[in-house]
Amino acid sequence: MPQNAKPPVKLSLPLEYQQDIFNEIRSEDELLVLARGLGLIRVVTNLLHSYDAAGNNLIIVVGADERENGWIGEALAEHAAISRSPMAQGLSQVNTDAMTVGMREKMYSQGGIFSITSRILVVDLLSKLLNPETITGLVVLHAERIVATSIEAFIIRIYRQMNKAGFLKAFSDNPEPFTTGFSPLATMMRNLFLRKPSLWPRFHVTVAKSLEGRKKAEVIELEVPMSDNMKDIQNAILECVEVSISELRKAGTGIELDDWTLDSALHRTFDVIIRRQLDPMWHRVSYRTRQIVNDLTVLRSILHALLTFDAVSFNKYLDTILAAHQPPPGSNRQNQSPWLFLDSANTIFETAKRRVYTGKPIEGGAPTASETILDSLRPVLEEQPKWAVIAEVLDEIERDAYFNPVSHDDSNGTILMMCSDQSTCRQLREYLQNMHIRPLKLDESIDVDRDDDSDSKPSAKFMMRKKLRNYLDWKKDFARVSASLFTENQKALNGYTDQSGATGYKGKGPPNKRRRVRGGSAAAAGGGRSVNSTLQIAEEKASQVATLMAEIQPTDADAVQKDEVTVDSLENMEDFYELYEMQDLVVIHPYDGDQDEHILEEVRPRYVIMYEPDAAFIRRVEVYRSSHDNRNIRVYFMYYGGSVEEQRYLSTVRKEKDAFTRLIKERAVITSMSFQDGPPSNAVQSMSITMGTEGLVSDPQEHFLRTINTRIAGGGRLAATAEPPRVVVDVREFRSSLPSLLHGNSMVVIPCMLTVGDYVISPNICIERKSVRDLISSFKSGRLFAQAETMLQHYKSPMLLIEFDQNKAFTLDPFADAHSSTSSLSTAQNPSDLQSKLVLLTLAFPRLKVIWSSSPYETAKIFEELKKLQEEPDPVKAVQVGLVAGEEPGDQSFNQTPQEMLRAVPGVTGKNYQRLTLEVGTLQEVANMTEEELDPLVGKEAGRQVWKFFNRSLFED
Partner 1 sequence: QALPNRAAPSSILVSSRQKGNPILNAVRSLPWEYSDIPADFVLGNTTCAFFLSLKYHRLHPEYIYTRIRALGGKYNLRVLLTMVDIQNHEDPLKELSKTSLVNNLTLILCWSAQEAGRYLELYKSYEHAPATSIRAHQSTSYSEKLQEFITIPRSINKTDALGLVSAFGSIKHAVNARPEEIGTIAGWGEKKVQRWCQSVREPFRVRK
325-344: contacts with partner 1 (CB under 8 A): 325, 328-330
Only segment of 154-162, 444-452, 700-708, 832-840 that touches partner 1 (CB under 8 A): 832-840
Using CB under 8 A as the binding rule, the residues of this chain from 928 to 947 that contact partner 1 are 928
Only segment of 184-192, 473-481, 521-529, 600-608 that touches partner 1 (CB under 8 A): 473-481
Using CB under 8 A as the binding rule, the residues of this chain from 850 to 879 that contact partner 1 are 850-854, 858, 861-862, 865-866, 868
Among 145, 275, 426, 655, contact with partner 1 (rule: CB under 8 A): 426
Among 566, 846, 876, 886, contact with partner 1 (rule: CB under 8 A): 846
CB of 321 to partner 1, least distance (A): 5
Q: Which is nearer to partner 1, 461 or 467 (CB)?
A: 467
CB of 423 to partner 1, least distance (A): 6
If one asks whether residue 238 binds partner 1 (CB under 8 A), the answer comes out as no
Using CB under 8 A as the binding rule, the residues of this chain from 369 to 408 that contact partner 1 are none
Listed residue (101, 2, 93, 5) closest to 47, CA to CA = 2
If one asks whether residue 780 binds partner 1 (CB under 8 A), the answer comes out as yes
Using CB under 8 A as the binding rule, the residues of this chain from 258 to 317 that contact partner 1 are 294, 297-298, 301, 305, 309, 313-314, 316-317
If one asks whether residue 912 binds partner 1 (CB under 8 A), the answer comes out as no
CB of 152 to partner 1, least distance (A): 21
H-helix segments, 202-286: 205-211, 228-250, 262-267, 270-278
Using CB under 8 A as the binding rule, the residues of this chain from 474 to 533 that contact partner 1 are 474, 477-478, 481-482, 485-486, 488-489, 492
Only segment of 21-29, 134-142, 683-691, 779-787 that touches partner 1 (CB under 8 A): 779-787
Cross-strand bridge partners of residue 840: none
If one asks whether residue 793 binds partner 1 (CB under 8 A), the answer comes out as no
- Backbone dihedral region for residue 539 (phi beyond 0: left; psi -120 to 50: alpha; all else: beta): alpha
Q: How many CA atoms lie within 13 A of 18 on its CB side?
A: 22
CB of 482 to partner 1, least distance (A): 7
Listed residue (732, 798, 790, 793) closest to 760, CA to CA = 798
Only segment of 18-26, 507-515, 665-673, 840-848 that touches partner 1 (CB under 8 A): 840-848
Using CB under 8 A as the binding rule, the residues of this chain from 48 to 77 that contact partner 1 are none
CB of 264 to partner 1, least distance (A): 24
Among 373, 843, 876, 885, contact with partner 1 (rule: CB under 8 A): 843
Q: Which is nearer to partner 1, 109 or 824 (CB)?
A: 824
What DSSP designation does 637 have?
Answer: E
If one asks whether residue 709 binds partner 1 (CB under 8 A), the answer comes out as no
Task: Judge whether 144 and 177 are in contact, CB under 8 Å.
Answer: yes
If one asks whether residue 797 binds partner 1 (CB under 8 A), the answer comes out as yes
Residue 800 phi, psi (nearest 5): -105, 120
Q: Helix (H, G, I), strand (E, B), or coil: what is residue 927? A: helix
State the pairing for strand pair 759-760/726-730.
antiparallel
Q: Which is nearer to partner 1, 454 or 822 (CB)?
A: 822
CA distance 483 to 66: 42
If one asks whether residue 818 binds partner 1 (CB under 8 A), the answer comes out as yes
If one asks whether residue 834 binds partner 1 (CB under 8 A), the answer comes out as no
CA distance 789 to 746: 32
Among 836, 881, 883, 939, contact with partner 1 (rule: CB under 8 A): 836
Q: Which is nearer to partner 1, 337 or 414 (CB)?
A: 337
CA distance 658 to 675: 25
CB of 702 to partner 1, least distance (A): 22
- Calculate ∠ Cα 115-591-470, nearest 5°: 120
If one asks whether residue 921 binds partner 1 (CB under 8 A), the answer comes out as yes
Among 281, 388, 603, 905, contact with partner 1 (rule: CB under 8 A): 905
What DSSP designation does 338 have?
Answer: G
CA distance 380 to 460: 12
Q: Which is nearer to partner 1, 403 or 505 (CB)?
A: 505
If one asks whether residue 4 binds partner 1 (CB under 8 A), the answer comes out as no
CA distance 107 to 623: 37
**Hey, what long-range contacts does 238-241 have (CB within 8 A, 24 or more apart)?**
238/262, 238/265, 238/266, 238/303, 239/342, 239/344, 240/299, 240/339, 240/342, 240/344, 240/345, 240/348, 241/265, 241/270, 241/296, 241/299, 241/300, 241/339
270, with CB counted inside 10 A (0-12, 13-18, 19+), is: buried
Residue 899 phi, psi (nearest 5): -65, -45
Residues 447-466, mask of contacts with partner 1 (x by CB under 8 A)? --------------------
Only segment of 247-255, 377-385, 445-453, 825-833 that touches partner 1 (CB under 8 A): 825-833
Residue 676 phi, psi (nearest 5): -75, 0
Q: Which is nearer to partner 1, 388 or 481 (CB)?
A: 481
CB of 224 to partner 1, least distance (A): 22
Task: Judge whether 172 and 199 are in contact, CB under 8 Å.
Answer: no
If one asks whether residue 98 binds partner 1 (CB under 8 A), the answer comes out as yes
Among 148, 920, 938, 942, contact with partner 1 (rule: CB under 8 A): 920
Kindly give, in sequence order, each residue whose CB lies less than 8 Å from that of residue 850, ignoring residues fewer than 6 positions away. Answer: 799, 800, 802, 838, 842
CA distance 634 to 595: 20
Question: Count of residues binding partner 1 (CB under 8 A)?
Answer: 116
